[in-house]
Amino acid sequence: MIEFLVRRAVISGVTLLVISLIVFVGVRMIPGDPARVLAGTDADAAGLEEIREKYGLNAPLPVQYGRWLALAVRGDLGESIRTRQPVRQTVAAKLPITIELACLSLLVAIGIAIPAGILAAVRRNTLWDVLASGVSLCGVSVPNFWLGIMLILLVSVRLGWLPASGFVPIADDPLGNVKRMLMPALVLGAGLAAVLMRQTRNAMIEVLSADYVRTARAKGLAQPAVVLRHALRNGLIPVVTILGLQMGALMSGAVVTEQIFVIPGFGRLIVEAVFTRDYPVVQGVVLITASAYVLINLLVDVSYTMLNPRIRIRSTADGA
Amino acid sequence: MAREAALSLALAADAAAPRPGVARRAWRVARRRPAAAAGAVVVLLYVVMALGAPWIASFDPVRTDWSQIRKAPSRAHPFGTDDLGRDGFSRVVWGARISMQAGVFSILLAIVIGVPIGLVAGYYRGGLDQLIMRLTDAWLAFPFLILAIGLVTILGPSLTNATIAIGLGATPTYIRLTRGLVLATSAEDYVQGARALGAGDVRLMGRHILPNIVSAIVVQATVAIPTAIIAEAVLSFLGLGVQPPAPSWGTMLNTAQQFLEQAPWMAYWPGLAIFVLALSFNLAGDGLRDVLDPRG
């Protein structure tokens, strides 16, 4: 198992390096003088010289990359052209908001998807199953920003139940915070719920026909005990993997959701940065999201390797 | 020589064996799965709408009319008018063109780039395969929208660049899919047989492996196109795709969001158009999987 984990970590490390290379090359592909790209169009000669000095922009490209990477690893992602604040600080201020949104959406998605998926699998080919699959298909097909707009229209404009947009820090006003996060979490969670529900259903159908489930039934266990204790635990393993892979979709969704509900998080930061040509911020956000994705998936792999002895042993046997 | 004759005889016999044609299988699937058939019909309707936009739309989609600003749906304007007095129905009809274009061309781009790379990686294996797969992993780590935003930052916002960004975002999926299929197919007897008969690499890949993996790639495309269509709408909604005044469903929703209280109809139709198109594609894709894969 150690061998598997080490191998998995090395691959992730290589992936992170390639990601940094892609981002570095991407920034160099922006037309114009890289110093001006990183310092902003209204920077003076001294500012430009400072940037040139810091990143060694007169040195050959590999040296530039090395210097840039060394700074990035230490958390120095340059400073925002617009606010002149370090990118690290800007990101650190916005990140908790997006993480809260993502966690709430995960709760929504899991809360809908797992019970619905189990129900559809247990009552396979009944009206419940058809209904759950239909809703799931709609969830995959509906553009989440339109869902958000329709929710605002119905809940805020027509019914006046919840505020349409804005954000209050949870520390200032917990109730107000939840009130404003409810619709965004629902919108962001809906697509994920659809995907997870389908996976849960398929995984549960497979597991429910396994021998050990039949054994559990044969020894007279009641249906809930069989489903929840014996089947669900194994059925959830592929679902956890999918959850890790869906993190990218969740991050993409957060960008749109924050835009609709005017939540000042990570996603809004990057869209604003693109429009103001704040390249250091774009670069930092892209680098951080891609790295986070790799690390989250590494964690997912590690956690289910530890949870499931079968994967642990098989991977060692394969020498993988 | 005798072996070759025997092999070609066997192949001929295989070809002559009664096998239901694609058309008949399609009809059977359509009868068994009416939802898939309905999906396919709706997708075709959208294609007709996209191609026939100049004849179907009753107004010029970009012509403004100051006397018709934000009018509720009426006989003349069944979908109402927008903040510049443009006809909602005509804009939704023309929007089909942009959506279809972005959806289809981006996935075509992903296939054109991804399939050959996956083919080479899966066929030659070894160090080249490792290199390609690490690059693919890294590429996949960029959440789609973040990647698209990064690319649009470099290229500048436009329909073409949004299409390129969406296509490049979908490419790793095709590299992985093709590679996996090639790995499985290369081990098949008929590929080994052709190799034994002296077929070269290019012939093996082009004549023996590729035809056998095409249907899986087509099925993946039908799943990917609705995602690409939504992606275009998202980029345009954020202002990173199609630029006004061109009628894209995404940009229309962006404008509509500013007038939710005064003109909610502006938000209904473009979103509904995306939703129904994506849903139909997904339904049709499920059916297509059955048609193209007789084993499934």
Question: By the CB < 8 Å criterion, does A160 face chain B?
Answer: no
For position B15, what pLDDT does the model report? Answer: 46
Q: At what angle do helices B34-51 and B265-292 cross, to 10 degrees?
A: 120
> What whole-number distance in Å separates Cα of residue A99 and Cα of residue B140?
21
Rounded to a whole number, what is the distance in Å from the CA of B221 to chain A's nearest CA?
15
pLDDT truncated to tens, each residue of chain B (296 aa)?
444 444 444 444 444 444 567 778 778 777 888 888 899 999 999 999 989 888 887 778 877 777 777 777 888 778 888 777 788 888 888 999 999 999 999 999 999 999 999 999 998 888 899 999 888 988 888 888 888 888 888 888 899 999 999 999 999 999 999 999 998 888 788 888 888 888 788 888 888 888 888 888 988 898 899 999 999 999 999 988 888 888 899 999 988 888 888 888 888 999 999 999 999 999 988 888 777 765 54
> What whole-number distance in Å separates Cα of residue A135 and Cα of residue A116?
10
Q: Which residues of A touch B279 (CB under 8 A)?
A: 137-138, 141-142
> What whole-number distance in Å separates Cα of residue B137 and Cα of residue B123?
19
> What whole-number distance in Å separates Cα of residue B217 and Cα of residue B193?
24
Q: What are phi and psi of A79, to 5 degrees?
A: -125, 150
A142: left (phi over 0), alpha (psi -120 to 50) or beta: beta
For position B9, what pLDDT does the model report? Answer: 46
Q: Which residues of B touch A259 (CB under 8 A)?
A: 237-238
> What whole-number distance in Å separates Cα of residue A192 and Cα of residue A108?
9
Residues of chain A with pLDDT under 70: 1, 307-320
- Asked if residue A26 lies in contact with residue B150, where contact means CB atoms within 8 angstroms, the answer is yes
Q: Tokens 């960004």 label which residue?
A: B165
For CA atoms A212, A217, A222, A224, the dihedral sign is: positive
For position B150, what pLDDT does the model report? Answer: 84
- Identify which of B226, B240, B260 has the shortest CB distance to residue A157: B260
DSSP sequence for B129-189: HHHHHHHHHHHHTS-HHHHHHHHHHHH-SSHHHHHHHHHHHHHHHHHHHHHHHHHHHHTSH
Query: How many residue pairs bridge chain A and chain B with CB atoms within 8 Å of each other?
Result: 137
- Asked if residue B166 lies in contact with residue B105, where contact means CB atoms within 8 angstroms, the answer is no
Beta-bridged to residue A79, according to DSSP, are A86
Q: Which chain A residue is nearest to residue B137, measuring alpha carbons?
A: A15
For position A26, what pLDDT does the model report? Answer: 86
Rounded to a whole number, what is the distance in Å from the CA of A171 to chain B's nearest CA?
29
Predicted TM-score of the model (pTM): 0.85
For position B20, what pLDDT does the model report? Answer: 61
Rounded to a whole number, what is the distance in Å from the CA of B278 to chain A's nearest CA?
5
Residue B9 CA: distances (Å) to CA of A260, B12, B192? 64, 5, 17
Rounded to a whole number, what is the distance in Å from the CA of B192 to chain A's nearest CA?
25
- Identify which of A145, A250, A271 has the shortest CB distance to residue B253: A145
Amino acid of residue B93: V
> What whole-number distance in Å separates Cα of residue B176 and Cα of residue A245?
15
> What whole-number distance in Å separates Cα of residue B152 and Cα of residue B147?
9
- For chain A, the residue count is 320
Q: Which chain A residue is nearest to residue B134, measuring alpha carbons?
A: A15
Residue B290: name the closest of B39, B33, B34, B14 by CA.
B33
CB atoms within 10 A of CB A175: 9
For position A308, what pLDDT does the model report? Answer: 66
Question: By the CB < 8 Å criterion, does B271 face chain A?
Answer: yes
For position A251, what pLDDT does the model report? Answer: 87
Question: By the CB < 8 Å criterion, does A183 face chain B?
Answer: no
Q: How large is the C-alpha radius of gyration of chain A?
A: 24
Q: At what angle do helices A247-261 and A279-307 cross, to 10 degrees?
A: 140
Residue A178 CA: distances (Å) to CA of A102, B204, B247? 13, 60, 36
Question: By the CB < 8 Å criterion, does A259 face chain B?
Answer: yes
- A14 is written with which tokens? 């290589």
